[in-house]
């Protein structure tokens, strides 16, 4: 990224990737009904909510004269509460996510980006301010979506991602999408801090089917995507049981963490439909409020 | 070459390499499969996990075995294995080749000779003199150069009799090759011993099983045929053909039957049912597909049932059966002959072999004439005397044509109560009598007879007489038949002859009845049998004219040999067959002493197996490759599917064979879609060009003048091209063109039958009147001989060709000869009064033959100008025009058939003809 030519080629690659990402995210988000997204209570906002009889203590200037002139009662026009909240989004862009066990499947990174982006689209449509990790501060509007899309297309060179919810806007909602295969300590710290600030949210673990099943045999050298971590075995098939035990342990750890901090934990496999994951994410983020 | 049983190795030392295989086993076991590198993000979870055992993943034992087999196959393949390696002859000194050369080796005689020839040739290369001793025709043996002996090989033929073993062996030591026929004979063991003493004896045994057919056994209308084979083998089915002349005298298969050897059975039998008329014509039965005289059995009179008509003169007489003149004849003839009853005229229509008139004196003149005609045609009339004949005055003064002798008035009685003398007995039969040699029973005596008038011809006509010299049986030839008179009655009234067995034998000798079993030697004594047809070793019939006659007593009792061949023998009117295989024949397989080496006659071909083993190794290695990938985890479902797809892709493409079935050239499709004319390629380049141009000219003329719009003509090669697309073939004849193959003729006939037409053009102006002597005419006859062409006639004036489009009476080409020939009109076509032409046959004449060189008159070049001049000036152009008109008429005739022959057109035609 230091050389200009490199920068340009990357920029072009990003620009090429950006519309599809946004488009697929829009498409995904379009499938989620916005019907229950309204705040359903009166408050500061633009849209009409209801007419209410004037009660004691109401400011006289609040009376809606047009409505009150029709009868003897005085009415107040209330608007729907449209307080803008912040949503903190973090999508793992580390190289461990760039993995797909078979040709036809999307990589974990692609799936995580689409889900994260779609969640951002939904939140922005709901009028929320969305922040992307430490990169983009919370803002609203489609401009923010484009910025998020550009930011999401970037890859990180490190093996495993470290979650970052830096703005830590109090009482906001958060979504962390990752495979959670790296060290869990940073995540634990982030979650504890976030819980302390009243941030609730959801963790979505995106895994490849091969990581779930471990269908390997024979003498094998396993390498991380960057090649930084490697493990050699003579008989891969004998490792399977213990691997699966460790994976279950990891998931249990995550579940504990989520439970203790009041977050929600979901699992998603790249072989599954992204739609279901998005629905879960949407419900989880809604429910976390 | 080292040989292990039937397997030989050209480089046997390489096999030592097989010892190294166990070493390889341990080496392969010790080396673990190479690791695979895999990207796997969850490796963080794996960190710190230890393998259960330090031993690496072992190569599975079956994979090791696969590799071992592959290596073993390579080693064996390189060692050059050969199945059934050619054995080289060993030994030195002269070689005596002993052939059984009997009928049993006829089936594979060719194979024997073909096998013998290279063996002899090799002996010749080794400088060994050879000699051949066929045991069926032993001759003194002299060893000679192999080349000379090989030259004589084609002259050897199997004989239709058993081999002899009393042969004189040449001096000195020699090796012997004995080509056996697989059958055991008396004396074989002695010869084996004698030959073994002189040197090595090698027996070449045949793989074929001699199969023989036994003579048929008649049982009523059914014939039972049995067959035998030397060794019981798997189930086998043969067809038996009954061969004989058809009514027109051409030899045909008159009947067939299937005979099946069950598995494990050496004998089989079947029954064939033939109508007696057909059965009488059967001359032999043969096993189809077995080329040996053992598989042919000849039939003779024994199989035939003669038709005998019995007529007596006393039909109005009411009498006891035993007094009936025909009773004894019936008894004697019924088992062996078909008896006819009825009026003489009815019987003559049935044309029986023999008519017996018992005591019939006179016949109506009409009947007499018909009877004489029948005898002329080969019938045999047998008459018995009786009271009526004696009382009548038939043949008194002059010889009656239906009696062999003149008769005295009244006859005579001897030995009765009212006469002198004793009853007469029979005198021995004279030598030239058909009864010669029959034993005379003591109890036959004659009390009454009709007596012949002494006559100069009488002595010649007597074939049996009484002890006092009076004739008892006389006969005379008449035309192709004969008339026989028994001077006694057919019943026991006048003599005891009808009561004795002699009576039956006499009837047999006269071939009135026929034997169903083989006659005894005694019965045949005194007869001489001339071979009519004899069998050779292959079962083919040849004429026996050149062979000497055989004495009757020898006919069935002497063993067969050069002087007594199996065949059909004739004596007088009787025919007997001597067959190679009789009812009591047995087939015994030859048994050779253990000391004799027996080899199969035809050694299986040497088959190098190195390629097979190396291919096997390659396949095993390929399997090992895939198996290794699977074991190493480098292969998933998709890859396996890909490999399977590759393997399938190398399968031979079967579907292509189907496409090749009907290769239809594009131009043939065009030809089939339009009216297309064609000329037959003659091989003469300029003539072929001219013919094609002529077809083009004809096509253009038609296009311009008629509604027929032909496409471009084609030239057809009779050998290759499909003809059915062309309605008309123009076939110019050159003297030097080649005759089409039989297949081409078959297609041509198919073409003609399917309605095609060939225009033959001898191009010689028919100077020789349909090819009497011109070379083209001769060629035409040769070319057209195999074609299915109906009778031809010159184009009659009212042929439909004369009015199919133009009204024509000439059919000129470059020449103007009137001789153009078409299929002849049926004989019964008649011209109705007032009609200009006959109501002629339907259909198109399949050929038109002429010599007017139409091609020259029709041919045009690419610009449309005529290629050849016709005649001179205007006359010539007029002739060309007429030629073209003929062409138009011809095509119209081809395409519309006899349409213009329809009488509907008569008024219009009459109008145009100006009548």
Q: What is the pLDDT of residues B897-914, one digit of tens each?
A: 777 777 667 777 777 777
**What distance in Å separates the CA atoms of residue B580 and residue B296, rounded to the nearest whole number?**
8
Residues A99 and A169 in one domain: yes
Residues A107 and A30 in one domain: yes
Count CA atoms within 13 Å of residue B743 on its CB side: 6
Confidence of residue B30 (pLDDT cuts 50, 70, 90): low
- Chains A & B: contacts with CB separation below 8 Å: 105
Query: Residue B570: is its pLDDT beyond 80?
Result: yes
Residue pair A148/A120 in contact (Cβ under 8 Å)? The answer is yes
CATH number at residue A281: 3.40.50.410
**Which range has the top average pLDDT, A255-269, B206-220, B223-237?**
A255-269
Query: Residue B788: is its pLDDT beyond 60?
Result: yes
Structure tokens at B437: 């040699």
Residues A10 and A141 in one domain: yes
What local confidence, expressed as pLDDT, does residue B147 receive?
Answer: 85
Structure tokens at B674: 């339009």
**What distance in Å separates the CA atoms of residue B320 and residue A85, rounded to the nearest whole number?**
146
- Check residue A61 and report its DSSP letter: G
What local confidence, expressed as pLDDT, does residue A110 receive?
Answer: 85
Residues A206 and A276 in one domain: yes
Tell me the backbone φ, ψ of residue B202, rounded to 5 degrees. -115, 130
Q: Measured between CA atoms, how close is A196 to chain B, in angstroms?
A: 30
Query: Residue B853: is its pLDDT beyond 80?
Result: yes
H-type alpha helices, B464-548: 501-509, 521-524
B interface test, pick of A161, A235, A248, A269 with most B CB neighbours within 10 Å:
A235
> Which range is least confidently modeled, A13-27, B110-124, B356-370, B621-635?
A13-27
Confidence of residue A163 (pLDDT cuts 50, 70, 90): confident
Query: Residue B57: is its pLDDT beyond 80?
Result: no
**What distance in Å separates the CA atoms of residue B163 and residue B166, rounded to the nearest whole number?**
9
Residues A225 and A110 in one domain: yes
What one-character-per-residue DSSP string does B34-81 give? PPEEEE-TTHHHHTTPPPS-SSPPPPPHHHHHHHHHHHHHHHHHHT-E
Residues A53 and A122 in one domain: no
Residues A134 and A259 in one domain: yes
What local confidence, expressed as pLDDT, does residue B187 receive?
Answer: 81
Residue from B400, B396, B392, B398 nearest B371 by CA = B400
B-chain CB neighbours of A254 within 8 Å are none
What local confidence, expressed as pLDDT, does residue B6 receive?
Answer: 65
Domain assignment of residue A147, given as a range: 4-37+83-287
Residue from B123, B67, B59, B115 nearest B95 by CA = B123
The percentage of chain B sitting over the pLDDT mark of 70, rounded to a whole number, equals: 86
Please state, as a whole number, how many other Cβ atoms lie within 10 Å of the Cβ of residue B301.
22
- What's the structural domain count of chain A? 2
Residue pair B761/B819 in contact (Cβ under 8 Å)? The answer is no
Please write down the long-range contacts of A223-226, taking CB distance under 8 Å and 24 or more positions apart: A223/B37, A223/B38, A223/B39, A223/B40, A223/B43, A224/A95, A224/A96, A224/A159, A224/B39, A224/B40, A224/B41, A224/B43, A224/B44, A225/A95, A225/A96, A225/A98, A225/A99, A225/A159, A225/B39, A225/B41, A226/A95, A226/A157, A226/A158, A226/A159
Query: Residue B686: is its pLDDT beyond 80?
Result: yes
What local confidence, expressed as pLDDT, does residue B389 receive?
Answer: 81
Is A42 within the bounds of a domain? no
**Numbered ranges of CATH 3.40.50.12140 in chain B:** 666-913
What H or E segment, with its residue span, contains residue B875?
Answer: helix B873-896
pLDDT tens for A47-84 read 788 888 888 888 888 888 888 899 888 898 887 766 66
CA dihedral of B178, B182, B187, B193, whole degrees rounded to 10 = 40
For CA atoms B681, B682, B683, B684, give the dihedral sign. Answer: negative
Residues A21 and A109 in one domain: yes
Please state, as a whole number, how many other Cβ atoms lie within 10 Å of the Cβ of residue B662.
6
pLDDT tens for B748-768 read 888 888 778 899 888 887 664
**Numbered ranges of CATH 3.40.50.880 in chain B:** 317-509
Subunit contact A225:B39, Cβ cutoff 8 A: yes
Q: Measured between CA atoms, how close is A226 to chain B, in angstroms?
A: 9
pLDDT tens for A7-36 read 555 555 545 555 556 666 666 666 554 433
Query: Residue B365: is its pLDDT beyond 90?
Result: no
Residue with the bigger pLDDT between B62 and B691: it is B691
CA A247 to chain centroid: 23
What local confidence, expressed as pLDDT, does residue B658 receive?
Answer: 43
- Check residue B756 and report its DSSP letter: -
Residue pair B292/B537 in contact (Cβ under 8 Å)? The answer is yes
Residue with the bigger pLDDT between B330 and B887: it is B887
Give chain B's mean pLDDT.
80
Query: Residue A288: is its pLDDT beyond 50?
Result: no
Q: What is the mean pLDDT of residues B57-84?
A: 81
Residues A211 and A153 in one domain: yes
pLDDT tens for B581-631 read 877 778 888 888 877 777 777 666 667 788 888 899 999 988 888 887 777
B822 pairs with which residues across the strands?
B793
Relative to beta strand B36-39, strand B462-465 is unpaired
pLDDT tens for A251-266 read 999 999 998 888 889 9
Structure tokens at B224: 């039972």
Q: Measured between CA atoms, how close is A97 to chain B, in angstroms?
A: 8
The percentage of chain A sitting over the pLDDT mark of 90, rounded to a whole number, equals: 6
Residues A241 and A181 in one domain: yes
Residue from B487, B482, B537 nearest B512 by CA = B482
Q: What is the mean pLDDT of residues B806-819?
A: 84
Q: What is the mean pLDDT of residues B140-145?
A: 84
Decide which of 1.10.540.10, 3.40.50.12140, 3.40.1260.10, 3.40.50.620 is the CATH code for B666-913: 3.40.50.12140
Subunit contact A210:B40, Cβ cutoff 8 A: yes
Subunit contact B44:A247, Cβ cutoff 8 A: no
B interface test, pick of A219, A223, A240, A270 with most B CB neighbours within 10 Å:
A219
Subunit contact A219:B42, Cβ cutoff 8 A: no
The CATH class of the B95-209+588-600 domain is alpha beta
Confidence of residue B660 (pLDDT cuts 50, 70, 90): very low
What local confidence, expressed as pLDDT, does residue B350 receive?
Answer: 79
Of chain B residues 514-543, which have a CB less than 8 A from chain A?
A: none
pLDDT tens for B400-427 read 888 888 888 877 777 666 666 778 888 8
Of chain B residues 57-116, which have a CB less than 8 A from chain A?
A: 57
Residues A66 and A205 in one domain: no
Please state, as a whole number, how many other Cβ atoms lie within 10 Å of the Cβ of residue B27.
10
Relative to beta strand B541-543, strand B528-535 is antiparallel
Count CA atoms within 13 Å of residue B36 on its CB side: 19
Residue from B727, B821, B735 nearest B773 by CA = B735
Query: Residue B874: is its pLDDT beyond 80?
Result: yes
Is A186 within the bounds of a domain? yes
> Which range is least confidently modeled, A123-127, B105-109, B287-291?
A123-127
Residue pair B73/B617 in contact (Cβ under 8 Å)? The answer is yes
Residue with the bigger pLDDT between B524 and A289: it is B524
Structure-token match 């695979």, residue found: B36
B41, B53, B54: residue with CB nearest A96? B41
CA B433 to chain centroid: 41
Residues A9 and A58 in one domain: no
The CA R_g of chain A, rounded to the nearest whole Å, is: 23
A-chain CB neighbours of B37 within 8 Å are 220-221, 223
**B826-842 as b/e: b if 16+ CB within 10 A:** eeeeeeeeeeebbbbbe
Q: Which fold has domain B317-509?
A: Rossmann fold (3.40.50)
pLDDT tens for A201-226 read 889 999 998 888 888 877 788 888 88
A interface test, pick of B30, B31, B42, B631 with most A CB neighbours within 10 Å:
B42
What local confidence, expressed as pLDDT, does residue B661 receive?
Answer: 42
**What distance in Å separates the CA atoms of residue A213 and residue A244, rounded to the nearest whole number?**
7
> Which range is least confidently modeled, B349-358, B447-456, B514-523?
B514-523
Q: Measured between CA atoms, how close is A143 to chain B, in angstroms?
A: 34
């Amino acid at each position: 990224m230091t050389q200009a030519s490199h920068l340009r080629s990357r920029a072009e690659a990003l620009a090429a990737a950006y519309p599809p990402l946004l488009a697929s995210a829009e498409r995904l988000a379009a499938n989620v009904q916005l019907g229950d997204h309204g705040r359903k209570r009166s408050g500061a906002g633009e849209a009409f909510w209801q007419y209410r009889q004037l009660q004691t203590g109401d400011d006289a200037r609040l009376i809606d004269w047009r409505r009150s002139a029709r009868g003897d009662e005085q009415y107040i026009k209330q608007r729907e509460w449209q307080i803008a909240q912040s949503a903190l989004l973090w999508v793992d862009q580390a190289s461990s996510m760039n993995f797909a066990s078979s040709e036809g499947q999307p990589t974990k990174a692609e799936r995580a980006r689409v889900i994260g982006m779609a969640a951002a689209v939904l939140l922005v449509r709901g009028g929320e301010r969305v922040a992307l990790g430490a990169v983009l501060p919370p803002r609203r509007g489609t401009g923010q979506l484009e910025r998020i899309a550009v930011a999401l297309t970037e890859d990180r060179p490190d093996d495993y991602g470290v979650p970052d919810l830096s703005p830590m806007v109090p009482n906001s909602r958060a979504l962390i999408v990752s495979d959670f295969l790296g060290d869990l300590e940073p995540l634990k710290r982030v979650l504890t801090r976030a819980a302390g600030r009243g941030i609730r949210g959801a963790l979505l673990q995106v895994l490849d089917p091969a990581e779930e099943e471990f269908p390997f045999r024979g003498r094998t050298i396993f390498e991380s995507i960057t090649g930084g971590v490697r493990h050699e075995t003579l008989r891969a098939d004998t490792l399977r049981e213990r691997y699966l035990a460790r994976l279950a342990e990891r998931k249990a750890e995550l579940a504990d963490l989520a439970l203790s901090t009041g977050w929600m934990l979901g699992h998603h496999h790249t072989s599954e439909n992204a739609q279901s994951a998005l629905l879960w994410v949407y419900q989880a983020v809604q429910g976390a409020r | 070459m080292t040989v292990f049983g039937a397997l030989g190795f050209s480089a046997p030392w390489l096999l030592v390499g097989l010892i190294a295989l166990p070493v390889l086993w341990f080496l392969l076991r010790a080396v673990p499969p190479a690791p695979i590198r895999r990207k796997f993000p969850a490796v963080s979870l794996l960190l710190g996990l230890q393998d259960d055992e330090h031993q690496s993943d072992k190569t599975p034992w079956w994979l090791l075995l696969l590799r071992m087999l592959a290596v073993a196959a390579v080693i064996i393949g390189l060692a050059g294995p050969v199945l059934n390696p050619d054995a080289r002859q060993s030994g030195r000194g002269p070689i005596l080749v002993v052939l059984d050369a009997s009928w049993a080796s006829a089936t594979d005689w060719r194979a024997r000779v073909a096998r013998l020839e290279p063996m002899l040739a090799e002996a010749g290369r080794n400088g060994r003199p050879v000699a051949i001793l066929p045991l069926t025709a032993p001759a003194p043996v002299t060893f000679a150069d192999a080349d000379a002996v090989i030259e004589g090989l084609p002259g050897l033929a199997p004989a239709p009799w058993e081999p002899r073993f009393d042969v004189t062996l040449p001096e000195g030591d020699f090796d012997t090759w004995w080509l056996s026929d697989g059958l055991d004979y008396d004396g074989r063991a002695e010869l084996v011993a004698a030959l073994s003493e002189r040197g090595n004896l090698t027996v070449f045994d045949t793989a074929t099983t001699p199969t023989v057919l036994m003579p048929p056994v008649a049982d009523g209308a059914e014939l039972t045929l049995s067959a035998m084979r030397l060794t019981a083998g798997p189930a086998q089915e043969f067809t038996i053909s009954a061969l004989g002349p058809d009514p027109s005298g051409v030899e045909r298969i008159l009947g067939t039957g299937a005979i099946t050897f069950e598995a494990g059975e050496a004998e089989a039998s079947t029954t064939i049912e033939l109508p007696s008329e057909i059965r009488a014509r059967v001359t032999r039965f043969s096993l189809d597909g077995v080329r040996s005289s053992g598989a042919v059995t000849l039939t003779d009179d024994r199989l035939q049932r003669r038709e005998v008509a019995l007529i007596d003169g006393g039909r109005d007489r009411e009498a006891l059966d035993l007094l009936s003149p025909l009773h004894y004849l019936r008894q004697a003839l019924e088992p062996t002959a078909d008896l006819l009853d009825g009026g003489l005229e009815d019987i003559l229509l049935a044309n029986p072999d023999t008519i017996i008139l018992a005591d019939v004196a006179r016949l109506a003149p009409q009947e007499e004439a018909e009877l004489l005609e029948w005898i002329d045609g080969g019938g045999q009339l047998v008459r018995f005397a009786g009271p009526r004949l004696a009382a009548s005055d038939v043949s008194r003064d002059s010889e009656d044509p239906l009696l062999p002798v003149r008769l005295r008035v009244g006859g005579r009685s001897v030995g009765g109560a009212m006469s002198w003398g004793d009853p007469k007995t029979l005198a021995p039969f004279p030598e030239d009598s058909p009864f010669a040699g029959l034993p005379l029973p003591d109890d036959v005596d004659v009390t009454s007879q009709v007596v012949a008038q002494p006559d100069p011809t009488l002595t010649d006509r007597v074939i049996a007489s009484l002890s006092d010299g009076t004739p008892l049986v006389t006969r005379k030839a008449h035309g192709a038949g004969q008339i026989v008179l028994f001077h006694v009655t057919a019943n026991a009234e006048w003599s005891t002859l009808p009561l004795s067995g002699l009576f039956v034998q006499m009837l047999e000798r006269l071939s009135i009845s026929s034997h169903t079993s083989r006659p005894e030697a005694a019965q045949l004594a005194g007869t001489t049998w001339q071979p009519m047809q004899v069998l050779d070793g292959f079962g083919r019939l040849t004429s026996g004219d050149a062979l000497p006659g055989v004495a009757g007593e020898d006919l069935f009792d002497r063993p067969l040999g050069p002087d007594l061949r199996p065949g059909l023998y004739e004596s007088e009117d009787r025919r007997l067959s001597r067959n190679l295989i009789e009812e009591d024949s047995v087939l015994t397989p030859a048994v050779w002493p253990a000391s004799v080496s027996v080899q199969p006659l035809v050694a299986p071909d040497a088959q190098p197996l190195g390629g097979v083993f190396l291919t096997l190794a390659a396949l095993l290695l390929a399997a090992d490759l895939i198996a290794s990938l699977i074991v190493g985890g480098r292969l998933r479902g998709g890859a396996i599917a890909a490999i399977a797809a590759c393997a399938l892709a190398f399968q031979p493409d079967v579907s292509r064979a189907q496409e090749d079935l009907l290769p239809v050239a594009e131009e043939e499709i065009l030809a089939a879609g339009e009216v297309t004319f064609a000329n037959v390629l003659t091989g003469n380049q300029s003539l072929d060009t001219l013919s094609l141009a002529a077809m083009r000219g004809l096509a253009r003329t038609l296009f311009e003048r008629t509604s027929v719009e032909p496409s471009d003509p084609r030239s057809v090669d009779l050998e290759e091209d499909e003809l059915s697309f062309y309605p008309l073939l123009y076939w110019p004849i050159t003297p030097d063109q080649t005759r089409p193959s039989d297949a081409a003729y078959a297609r041509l006939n198919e073409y003609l039958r399917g309605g095609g037409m060939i225009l033959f053009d001898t191009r010689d102006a028919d100077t020789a009147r349909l090819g009497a002597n011109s070379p083209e005419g001769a060629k035409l006859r040769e070319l057209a001989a195999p074609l299915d062409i109906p009778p031809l006639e010159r184009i009659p004036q009212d042929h439909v060709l004369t009015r199919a489009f133009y009204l024509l009476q000439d059919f000129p080409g470059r020449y103007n000869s009137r001789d153009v020939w078409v299929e002849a009109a049926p004989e019964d076509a008649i011209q109705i009064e007032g009609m200009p032409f006959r109501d002629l046959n339907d259909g198109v004449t399949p050929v038109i033959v002429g010599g007017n060189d139409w091609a020259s008159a029709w041919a045009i070049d690419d610009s449309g100008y005529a290629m050849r001049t016709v005649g001179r000036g205007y006359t010539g152009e007029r002739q060309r025009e007429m030629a073209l008109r003929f062409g138009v008429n011809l095509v119209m005739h081809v395409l519309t058939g006899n349409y213009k022959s329809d009488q509907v057109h008569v008024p219009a035609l009459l109008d145009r003809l100006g009548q």
